[in-house]
Amino acid sequence: MGAPTAIIAEDEPLLRAELRALLGRLWPELRIGDEVADGLQAIQAIDRLSPEIVFLDIQMPGACGLDVAQHAGGRCHVVFISAYEQHALAAFEHGALDYVLKPLTAERMRRTIERLKERLQEPPPDLRALVETLRGLASKQEPEYLKWLTVPHGSDLRVVTIEEICYLQADDKYTNLVTSNATYLLSTTLKQLKRRLDPKLFWQVHRSTIINVRAIETIHRSFRGTMEVKLRTRPEWLAVSAAYAHLFRQN
């Protein structure tokens, strides 16, 4: 058997890059056949490349990771990548190859690679029972929202917790993530991020701006009726468009 081929299916570009770098360092013989950002692309890549391994985020746009896993069952070995720990036990009980929690670590990936090398001698497992179990778990759970993001910081990656974020602002196809003392450019759209943020804590106040409610200090309404928000640890004022002014009205 020659060098195995893998697909990375992860919708966060920074995490895709981090995973690829870890695999390149820890398993240089592994060939990455493709990197995809949504479930439909993952299914197409599996059909096109017939990889031995898929590194698969459970929550992705398009077809979700569970749909991809069902498609991959019996065809390739699956390693789930996710921030949501409640799925892990069911994944192991029903024969999934491995389960890696974000943020990724070299030591955890090293153990995963060891298991993969052993399992590659065996046929890929049927994942139908696993998928049905995980779907049942997901239906009983409250929605899971982001708890942290990895952001570029020079040549490294930095972990920014949700509590640190003051606001997010669209910048064409990118998003500026603003904390009390820094701004980071994310290669993810504001629309994509909004789906993964808790709406009780993060309010969209303008088509290009989402604010952490806990960071607000002052709300100002001018005599013309326009509204602006001042944050506790930032000097700038952020405009609130008329479409979102109702968020600040007292019940």
What's the confidence (pLDDT) of residue 132?
78
pLDDT above 70 coverage of the chain, percent: 89
Residue pair 78/119 in contact (Cβ under 8 Å)? The answer is no
Phi/psi for 240 (5° steps) reads: -110, 120
What's the confidence (pLDDT) of residue 9?
95
Is residue 232 scored above 70 in pLDDT? yes
Mean pLDDT estimate for the chain: 86
Residues 26 and 117 in one domain: yes
CATH of the domain at 120: 3.40.50.2300
Is residue 237 scored above 80 in pLDDT? yes
Residues 29 and 130 in one domain: yes
Of 105, 140, 175, which one is at a domain's C-terminal end? Answer: 140
Residues 54 and 109 in one domain: yes
Q: Which residues contact 31 (CB under 8 A, 6 or more apart)?
A: 3, 4, 5, 6
What residue spans of the chain are helical by DSSP H?
Answer: 13-26, 39-49, 65-72, 88-93, 106-119, 128-140, 190-194
Q: Residue range 195-211: average pLDDT?
A: 93
Cα–Cα distances (Å) from 121 to 1, 24, 27, 115, 191, in that order, read: 10, 21, 17, 11, 42
Residues 157 and 230 in one domain: yes
Give the pLDDT band of residue 134 (cuts 50, 70, 90): confident
Residues 21 and 130 in one domain: yes
Q: Residue range 73-89: average pLDDT?
A: 79
Of 88, 115, 140, which one is at a domain's C-terminal end? Answer: 140
Dist CA 167 CA 212 (whole Å): 6
The residue with tokens 């409250």 is 142
> Which SS3 state, helix, strand or coil, does residue 175 take?
strand
Q: Phi-psi region for residue 129, left (φ > 0), alpha (ψ -120 to 50) or beta?
A: alpha
Residues 91 and 114 in one domain: yes
Is residue 204 scored above 80 in pLDDT? yes
Dist CA 211 CA 168 (whole Å): 6
Give the pLDDT band of residue 93 (cuts 50, 70, 90): low
Is residue 251 scored above 60 in pLDDT? no
Residues 75 and 17 in one domain: yes
Of 90, 119, 140, which one is at a domain's C-terminal end? Answer: 140
Q: Residue range 152-170: average pLDDT?
A: 88
**1-14 pLDDT tens trace:** 578 999 999 988 88
What's the confidence (pLDDT) of residue 137?
67
Q: Which of 7, 15, 16 is nearest to 53 (CA)?
A: 7
**58-69 pLDDT tens trace:** 887 766 888 898
What's the confidence (pLDDT) of residue 246?
85
Q: Domain count of the chain? A: 2
Residues 121 and 23 in one domain: yes
CATH of the domain at 200: 2.40.50.1020
Residue pair 210/190 in contact (Cβ under 8 Å)? The answer is yes
Dist CA 68 CA 54 (whole Å): 10
What pTM was computed for the model? 0.61
Is residue 180 scored above 90 in pLDDT? yes
Residues 102 and 174 in one domain: no
Residues 17 and 125 in one domain: yes
Q: Which two tokens stand for residue 81?
A: 């990548």
Bigger pLDDT: 142 vs 181: 181
Residue numbers of the domain that contains 240: 148-248
Residues 127 and 210 in one domain: no
Bigger pLDDT: 128 vs 79: 79
Buried b (16+ CB within 10 A) or exposed e, 161-181: ebebbbbbbbeeeebbbbbee
Residues 27 and 84 in one domain: yes
